[in-house]
Structure 1
Amino acid sequence: GITPDTRMWNMLLNAIGAAGDMDRMVATYEDMIASGQRPNLYTINTMLARAGAAGQCLVAEDLWKESHRLKLVPDAIAFSTFMDCYARAGRFERAEELLQEMSAAAIAPDAAAYNCLMKAYIAAGQVTAATFIINRMCAANIRPNRITWYQIIHATDAAGDEQTADALYGDARLSGVLEVEQPWQRSDNIKLEVASGAKVLTRGTKIVLFRLNTGTAKAALRYELQQRRTQPSRRQLPLCIVTGTGSSVLKKAVSDLLASQGIATLMDASRDNDRIIVPPSR
């Protein structure tokens, strides 16, 4: 028969871990050791990721110790994967310890590591502390990425702090990481059914929100609505809000926000229910 190599064992461990069966994953790992096949860092990282997703921090700790026993030198991915186990559980103290261990090992913490730390504070309900992670990243010359902004904007919005969420969204826009407005294409033209027949609007502002979580999408929409209030030329054009057809939660969040501000919407007769139209106004 075929003797499984490390790659095959890794694939098997990943599949078992993806099913959430930690006991079987660990038992299979022991079978791998017994077969004489030596695990590599990818083996450990794979199991760490699955243990974290299953909320099994103790399993993750044992795997981390195992990597040291095997004299496998952890890289940035290994540290971030291990940190994510504690981030999901909201154990920010342990995540902070791992960030220090990472630096002590002469591995410069990257955006992924700081994102895990931020996630830990958010999961623990420490949203204010989570916002300061951005300052720490900038001080370390690490540029916050999309994940950084998405999770902190969503967390502050979910905590009811719209002012901070909107300020963070503004910072994300200025950094060039987050831009939801896209050029108007012919395919974006809006067909309206009016009393006199069909009317087609061939110009407008389009913002694409379906790739965002609800908190970030709401902050983006609030920003656009503010622009329309202060710029007559902008509000004289329709606003096309692309929500996609997949997330009813996102669509409801957008609709509720518009309704809370007394903003009427239109349905586009030529498209599926994938976008919300705000009509022009004076």
Structure 2
Amino acid sequence: MGAGHAHKLYRRGNSPVHALPPHTKLAAVLAFVVVVVSTPREAVWAFALYAVLLAAVAASARIPAGFLLRRLLIEIPFVAFAFLMPFVVPGEQTELLGISVSVPGLWGAWNVLAKGTLGVAASVLLAATTELRELLLGLQRLRLPPLLVQIASFMIRYGDVITDEMRRMSIARRSRGFEAKGVRHWGVLAKSAGALFIRSYERGERVHLAMVSRGYAGSMPVIDEVTATPAQWARAAALPAAALVICLLGWTLR
């Protein structure tokens, strides 16, 4: 799959979490998210324990709390949606800080915030301890459809190329005195977007022809065969296993 591509979420390190094979971490995060989503929303204490588990993983991976919290800002749109739920969801009303809100809406907002935040935090920890190339190899090892893995691989490879092309087009517009200041400039921006799409499509065709001329037949060769020992699987399974125990207690004690 070629050379690795660094990304802003990745934090280089030599921790036990970094050392785990990527497919074990992918499976662990997926299982953890499934368990969290399956937890009854009334078990508030269970979500607090999930947060403690993630904090323990972050400490083991030597990921600073500030680094993790800044990356959690990506869920702000979902937070805004959750804050609206107590006011738009019908049902029994109650007073909160002098404001009449819906009880089902409050529970719905808590459900979205708690489960969404934990899922995003687990994903951020995965990205912070695993390079993009390793993630692709992990998906390949987990037998994800090869076509999807190839699409993700090409997206990562050429995302920066397309971004650079867009930057050059922006510089060309500014060098000609153009500045987008209002609705009347949207036509120029739309034409630029169309030109970028055409250039990207043509570049993709050229890349495909070059690959075919070099023997590409629909599948990429596996350069590194990533394997995991039973001990590594056991370490990766510790997080979802502990979460499963908490989830079962949450259903039992509700």
TM-score (norm 2): 0.23
Which structure's residues are more often helix, by fraction?
A: 2
More strand by share: 1
Q: Which has the higher contact order (CA 8 A, sep 6+)?
A: 2
